[in-house]
Amino acid sequence: MPLFPHRIPNVVHHVRVRDESIGGDNPFKWEMKLTHEIVGREKCIIFALPGAFTPTCSTFQLPDFEELYPRFQKAGIENIFCVSVNDTFVMNKWAEDQGLEHVKVIPDGSGKFTSSIGMDVYKDNLGFGIRSWRYALIVKNFEIEQQFVERGFKHNADDDPYGVSSPQNILAFLEGREYDAGGEALQLNLLDGVGSEDKIG
């Protein structure tokens, strides 16, 4: 497997999008979108976490990215995306619950993106099954420019470290201040559509 840095995977995400033409109480339709289609070529942050509605994710990480979005814009970040191994219904409801205006959620219900990027871990000790380790990436034109992986990557970890992938730490990096470089080097495989931008033009 090639070592970081490389391109982010380009896998299919099943999403529910609002379509007012449908009418009724549930005006949503299914769409299948590729990762590259969702994130685009602009400089962005993709951060991943163990699960929607979980304590650290809902209390600190997601709301802080939302609140600090103007500072990220000043630092050259166009968009911020949150990925979790949850289905689109859960991710959409979580985004609504959090009142998100800036951070966009990406459902990875089958874990294809997470496994392709090598960040899938067992969390059976918590009854979660396979989820994502906590990390963040700075990406431009699908290329990973910087990674922020929490330390202690392992299956069935007793704790859920948080700090390296926090928005405050990433801002420190972007603003040229001292920052925590984090844990293990991210490794990607090339089996799930990496480099397949030809699919979306």
> What positions carry a catalytic annotation?
57
Long-range residue pairs from 103-106, CB within 8 A, at least 24 positions apart, any chain? 103/62, 103/65, 103/66, 103/69, 104/38, 104/79, 104/80, 105/81, 106/13, 106/35, 106/38, 106/46, 106/81, 106/82
Contacts with 74 (C-beta within 8 Å, 6 or more apart), sequence order: none
Tokens standing for residue 97 = 């619950």
Q: Indicate the residue type of 140.
A: K
Instruction: Match 């449908």 to its residue by tokens.
Output: 22
